[in-house]
A = this chain, B = another copy of it.
Amino acid sequence: MTYLRYSAILTVLMKSEKISELTTSRLSVYLRCLNALHAAGIKTISSQALAEQFNLNSAQIRKDLGYFGEFGVRGVGYYVADLRDHITKILGLDSPHRVGIVGAGRLGTALANYNGFARSNFTVAAVFDNDRQKIGGRIGDAKIAVHDVDQLAKVIREESIDVMVIAVPAKAAQRVLNQVMSAGIKAVLNFAPVSLTSRRGVKVKTVDLTTSLESLSYFLSQPSSVAVTQPRSHSRSEESFPQRRKGAKAENL
């Protein structure tokens, strides 16, 4: 099957294993790093050198990549431009995504203006709200139109939106998610601090600021500030650091 390796679709099907979200998150991080290396004119990099950037194990990187093919060259490492292209395809970032944001509050507005999206081939195509004051207006430098939430399905279709961001108050979030799912959306990034129920085939990723902060609070309340184990992998920020230690890394993807 080696000769099929460079097909984006086949890459993904090569092994029937399911890929953990931990792996895809790391791929995203590797990609960011590879882009920087490429911009710096660096041509090749070993898994060891790449691992040092994030304080993770080089075997982890090789394993992550190994799920999708054999991209390295023994005795050399990985060609930066080549690996970058592969990961871009693996993550589906070679084709553009269009994003809709529900909630034109402060967070929604900040996200609508977030420039980091464009770099990954994401474009914010529409914002939705239920506030008559905001509907019909435009926000941000890009003058993105604010639509009535009732027009969700219609606008999603017209604008070919495939990813939705939920930035509404907690009590409205499930209702909004239901509407979003009805409109056929399969990927949702949720900022409302609630546990949402999604249906099969719909991926909801929640970013919960309250939980993040409260978790930090627990850490602060620990006597020595060293009684928290890391969630896994990377981010061995504190104690329990093995032999090598040149400064800990903070991740939490």
Check if A229 sits within 8 Å of B116, measured CB to CB.
Answer: no
Q: How far is the CB of A130 from chain B (nearest CB, A)?
A: 18
Q: When A106-B110, A210-B28 are in contact, do A227 and B18 touch as well, CB less than 8 Å?
A: yes
Check if B54 sits within 8 Å of A195, measured CB to CB.
Answer: yes
Check if B93 sits within 8 Å of A217, measured CB to CB.
Answer: yes
Q: Cα distance A152–B163 when bound, in Å?
A: 38
Check if B253 sits within 8 Å of A221, measured CB to CB.
Answer: no
What residues of B have a CB within 8 angstroms of the CB of A106 in the complex?
Answer: 109-110, 113-114
Q: How many copies does the complex hold?
A: 2
* Segment with Cβ contacts to B, from A41-49, A77-85, A143-151, A199-207: A199-207
What residues of B have a CB within 8 angstroms of the CB of A13 in the complex?
Answer: 223
Q: When A106-B113, A218-B27, A218-B91 are in contact, do A18 and B228 touch as well, CB less than 8 Å?
A: yes
Instruction: Using CB atoms, name the residue of chain B closest to A224.
Output: B201
Q: Cα distance A193–B240 when bound, in Å?
A: 25
Check if A163 sits within 8 Å of B193, measured CB to CB.
Answer: no
Within 8 A of B (CB), among A4-48: 9, 12-13, 18-22, 24-25, 27-29, 31-32
For the complex, is A243 an interface residue (Cβ under 8 Å from B)? no
